[in-house]
Amino acid sequence: MSKPMLICSAGNDNASIISRLKSGQVHLQKNNDYGDKEFMLGAIKNLLPLPPNTPTHFKTRTNTILYNALLNGENLIKEVIKSTDSFAVVIGTTTTGIEENYNNIPKKQYLQSFSSLDNPALFVRSVYDICGLSFGVSSACTSGAKAIIEGARLINSGLCEAVICGGVDSLNTLTINGFDSLEILSAKPSRAFCADREGINIGEGAGVFVLMSSECLARNPHLADDFIIALKGYANNNDAFHITQPRTDFAMQERLLSEVLLCANLTPSDIDYINLHGTGTQANDAMESATFAYALNGALKSTPSSSIKPLIGHTLGAAGAIEAGVCAEMILQSIGSLDGQEVLIPHIYHNDFDKSLPQIALVKQGEKAKVRNALSVSFAFGGDNSAIILGQA
């Protein structure tokens, strides 16, 4: 897979984002643009506009964010498109253009400007004039991770040779107030696994990769330097338990970890870093800490782990893709360092771990490790669970 193309409240390019995350900078601010209440949100600043010829039904904030992420790898995308006619686009989202859809109802422009859940994928296909399969994935907070998984499945099944895949979501009134109605939004920066955690903050962003088959890459060796990260394993399952609550026995989460390690042909000891879902809700943190403390006989309990959501907010359908991108960047930096040791992204939680939760190895500020393989997990409403393992190709 390619180097990631990232954007979030921590920055509009990979280097800025990783540098700020490693320093533990919080990129959340109070915002009252989405209703009568003030919310702590992770908003992106200084977005470049969409191309002037963009059709009306693609003119959404979600697509603007996605377009800005794509600009970080546009030259590579164009080179890959030249290399094969067998191409697909898979983009995960939960918000698509919901704000614009709502605002256009009284203007009687709803049907002409309607943004469906596959709209971001269609937008990418339109921007790069791609003639091939495209579809959207919307499975709540696993959408971005599942889009990557679906991209890999398309390639492994022989249906295509290259896929643009990832996730994108934007801040909007409906989503923010919907989460507020569940009473799980925090008025201060999220403190996942902290004793005084109050819930989540909503953010926005995008994470995009290009996946390419080994056969296609072999025919295009000039692209090899852009494909030094491997998607080693992936897995997805569902609790089939509750629409907003995870199972409390972590049975399906343990099965997920077993399946992703089997897919990657790795053991727990091969994992050097874990990107946690780490939302800061009571239910998620209890389930997730139990999963990594006890699953697989506690084999991952001591693996350095952190969540970036206390730093940029929960980017919903983009989260799994952005977090996979952050894992990829840490692997790339570890490859490039002299001793292989690289500063990990710390888990910011005021060093007040909830003692009622099983202990896991949360990364401290300045902690270093050699990151050869990284595991990223996403746990969504509806009981949907996804896991991805990235490593050096």
Q: Digits of tens for pLDDT over the chain (393 positions)?
A: 999 999 999 999 999 999 999 999 999 999 999 999 999 999 999 999 999 999 989 999 999 999 999 999 999 999 999 999 999 999 999 999 999 888 877 766 655 567 899 999 999 999 999 999 999 999 999 999 999 999 999 999 999 999 999 999 999 999 999 999 999 999 999 999 999 999 999 999 999 999 999 999 999 999 999 999 999 999 999 999 999 999 889 999 999 999 999 999 999 999 999 999 999 999 999 999 999 999 999 999 999 999 999 999 999 999 999 999 999 999 999 998 878 898 999 999 876 899 999 999 999 999 999 999 999 999 999 999 999 999 998
CATH code, 5-392: 3.40.47.10
Give the pair of three-digit tokens for residue 76.
Answer: 């590579």
Neighbouring C-beta atoms of residue 340, cutoff 10 Å: 15
- pTM for this model (two decimals): 0.97
> Could you give the CA distance from residue 392 to residue 345 in angstroms, rounded to a whole number?
19
Name 275's bridge partners: 306, 376
Find the Cα–Cα–Cα–Cα dihedral 141, 253, 311, 143, rounded to 10°. Answer: -20
- The sign one gets for the Cα dihedral 372, 373, 376, 377 is negative
Q: Which residues contact 113 (CB under 8 A, 6 or more apart)?
A: 56, 57, 59, 97, 100, 101, 104
Name 208's bridge partners: 5, 166
Please give the positions annotated as active site: 141, 277, 314
Give the residue extent of every domain in the chain: 5-392
> Could you give the CA distance from residue 146 to residue 167 in angstroms, rounded to a whole number?
9
DSSP 226: G
